[in-house]
Structure 1
Amino acid sequence: MRKAALVAGVLALTGTLAACSSGAAEPGTGDEGSTVDAATATSAADFGGIDGLVEAAKQEGELNVVALPEDWANYGKIIAGFEDKYGITVNSASPNASSAEEIQAAENLKGQDTAPDVFDLGAAVALTNTDKFAAYQVENWDDIPAENKEASGLWVNNYSGIMSLGYDSDKLQEPAKLDDLLGADYKGAVALNGDPTQAGAAFAAVGWLSALNGGGVDDFGPGVDFAQKLRDAGNFLTLDPTPATIASGETPAVLDWSFNNIAAAADKPSWETTVIPGAVYVSFYNEAINKDAPNPAAARLWQEWIFSDEVQALYLEANAVPVRIDALTESGAVDEKLVEQATFGTDSDDWVSPDQAQVDAANALLTERWAAVVK
């Protein structure tokens, strides 16, 4: 399961993304034959319209993505759909890399033709790396709430999950309350999807534990305290969960994004997903263009694709909540049953999510205290 890292990763991706050198990107050509510098284009209008952007992207012929596993939020179908619709080859590297490793890959491969063209990032990494992004506003810009985008288009929220508990119903009872996870039935069973000082899913899990324990997004202390209680009870499992460990039964209870937990049931029929009563933790991922993208027109066309009705509906199909959910619901473009399923019957009034200052404070606390929990 892909993790959105919150601090710089240690893995340099030069081994998996080895490349030959490349010169500056060639300008695209708009639909009226005018030369367009795709690397500085801020909307499809700069190409003379969407048809001009498509033409310029097809001339490049390729798109480089990183950290997009096929079983994460429907990215398998999203990538295949882009290739089928536009005839552009998508080179998908290191699908299980973290957000921080996406940024590291861009730094390591800058100026080479296999550098990432686009990013899919957790909030903390996105907000601390805006100097690496190119501003772009998609045609559906007005459908995206102001709070879900940087004003110029440096980053735009694309989808979110809801923090949940996945569990093997053949071995475990559904918890009625959070403290049930401290019981003997959950001995050696409860895992987080990664290290919360590195991974967005695990960071959110601690935030959710905190909110359920009377804390909040501005104080992760109660979440760390509860994780320590899990450890003291012998219920905290330090094994990093994957679809394989879930299927084999090695990680029988996992705190993770709802779309990951629900997807795990495909290989583990007894796997159930629940949202423990109380606060509902959400956090959007972010779409951004690498300002040094080797395929700048394709990168911008990918943005248009991501925020299209088709792809936003594909996120929802995978139980992720697309950022344009209100516009899609209003237009009737999505099945309301899927909305109910993806949100577990909650709405934005029930949701909690930290802002940048709160993320920074939580990161500082986790850096100071998490090692003691897992030692």
Structure 2
Amino acid sequence: MEQITELAKSEGTVQLIAVPEDWANYGSQFSTFTEKYGIATPVDTPNASSADELTAVKNLKGQKSQPDVIDIGYSFTGKAEAEGLITAYKPSNFESIPDNLKDPDGMWVGAYYGVVQVGTNTNVVEAPKSWNDLLDPKYKGKIALPGDPRKGASSIAAVFAAALANGGSVDNIQPGIDFFEKLAKSGNLVSITSPVSALSTGQAAVVFDWNYNFLGMEKELEKSGITLETTTFEDGVFGNYYAQPVVADSPHPNSARLWADWLTSDEGSELFALGGGIPARYLELKEAGKLSDEALSMLPDAGVISEIEFPTVEQGETASQLIVDQWAQKVASQ
């Protein structure tokens, strides 16, 4: 680590992509990392999807603006590896990261995860309490996914959650697709550009997203006079992680490795937790008293966290392909 750190400092930059400052407290990760190591953390296209990230790695290959590290939904890790876009690196905390949050060969590690929630602008409509409530006509034109599930992991997660609530499983996302087909046919489901924009402008009043993203939206929504209520539906608790693999042949290879190491460190884990992101090493750090009370208070209820069952990468790829095959006809065209 000493050698990597010195070489990273000489590189002076880690080029990032698709991580907004208000996403899981990434803003604090940037500033604290830069203060500690003197390494800049520029972020290109902060709101890009996981699919966009893989495209950027390919299109920018060999350029200084090529990402050094990406932050992708778990179901995109297999594609990234198959296309030779990422390279193996085991951070110093690799052995203490749970097996279901890392590739055994170190091709990627998931530094944090979240739980699917529903955020409601209660100035406009009463907050739903269950998935079945969403079918009520009073939500006509008011419900939205955070993006297109054919491209982004946060929307795939909401479809998975709907599947779990309607007789499906991590092996069977079909009931989730069918549920959103009902929402679309009823006119309750609408398309949006982004959750915070939709809630601020009235484009939608009920939006799915990760728990940590709603925390990041709070200040901006308060400025708009929005009263936000967030709910984790008891029927269909679903959580998942994002992986931070090092890009193959990136412009700043040592800074990339140092950044990956930082995100799973005690300090990086605390910062994720302060932003509502559940650190990969959550159980270890909690038991050791290494997460502050403030950080723990920002996380979902411990009972909710204990219910989370991550799909395997293979299950995620199967689910993603089924969404790609059916979404246009069943949901997007309604």
| Residues 144-165 of structure 1: per-residue CA shift (max 9 Å, x gap) | 1122211232100111110110
| AA matched with 2:166 | N
Partner of 1:266: 219
Residue 219 of structure 1 and its aligned partner are, at CA, apart by 1.4
Residue 335 of structure 1 and its aligned partner are, at CA, apart by 3.1
Aligned counterpart in structure 2 of residue 70 of structure 1, from 15, 21, 24: 21
Conservation of the 8 A alpha-carbon contact between 1:155 and 1:288: yes
Aligned counterpart in structure 1 of residue 187 of structure 2, from 234, 248, 252: 234
Residue 337 of structure 1 and its aligned partner are, at CA, apart by 6.2
* 1:66-215 correspondence to structure 2 within 5 Å: 66-130=17-81, 131-215=84-168
Structure 2: 5+ residue runs without aligned partners? none
Distance 1:107 1:98 in 2: 15
| Residues 313-352 of structure 1: per-residue CA shift (max 9 Å, x gap) | 1111111111011121122111356436422342554123
Asked if 1:293 is matched to 2:244, the reply is: no
Asked if 1:306 is matched to 2:263, the reply is: yes
Conservation of the 8 A alpha-carbon contact between 1:106 and 1:115: yes
Higher relative contact order (CA 8 A, sep 6+): 2
Q: Please give the root-mean-square deviation of Cα atoms over the aligned residues, in Å.
A: 1.7
| AA matched with 2:170 | V
Runs (4+) off by over 6 Å: none
Judge which range, 67-76 or 52-61, deviates more.
52-61
Conservation of the 8 A alpha-carbon contact between 2:66 and 2:251: yes
| Residues 270-289 of structure 1: per-residue CA shift (max 9 Å, x gap) | 01110111231011100111
Greater fraction helix = 2
Asked if 1:343 is matched to 2:306, the reply is: no
Distance 1:351 1:284 in 2: 11
Partner of 1:20: none
| Residues 103-135 of structure 1: per-residue CA shift (max 9 Å, x gap) | 222212222222111111111111221232222
Aligned counterpart in structure 2 of residue 318 of structure 1, from 261, 268, 275: 275
Q: TM-score, normalised by structure 2?
A: 0.92
- Name the SS of the counterpart of 1:293 in structure 2: coil
* 1:1-20 correspondence to structure 2 within 5 Å: none
Conservation of the 8 A alpha-carbon contact between 2:131 and 2:235: no
Aligned counterpart in structure 1 of residue 206 of structure 2, from 249, 253, 256: 253
Q: 1:311 to 1:227 in 2, by over 3 A?
A: same
Partner of 1:9: none
Residue 367 of structure 1 and its aligned partner are, at CA, apart by 2.0
Judge which range, 288-297 or 243-252, deviates more.
243-252
| AA matched with 2:155 | A
Distance 1:224 1:347 in 2: 23
Q: TM-score, normalised by structure 1?
A: 0.82
Residue 175 of structure 1 and its aligned partner are, at CA, apart by 2.0
- Name the SS of the counterpart of 1:160 in structure 2: strand
Percent of matched pairs sharing the same residue: 34
Distance 1:144 1:233 in 2: 43
Structure 1: 5+ residue runs without aligned partners? 1-43, 45-49
- Name the SS of the counterpart of 2:149 in structure 1: coil
Conservation of the 8 A alpha-carbon contact between 1:120 and 1:288: yes
Partner of 1:279: 236
| AA matched with 1:314 | L
Distance 2:40 2:129 in 1: 47
Conservation of the 8 A alpha-carbon contact between 2:12 and 2:39: yes
How many pairs does the alignment contain?
326
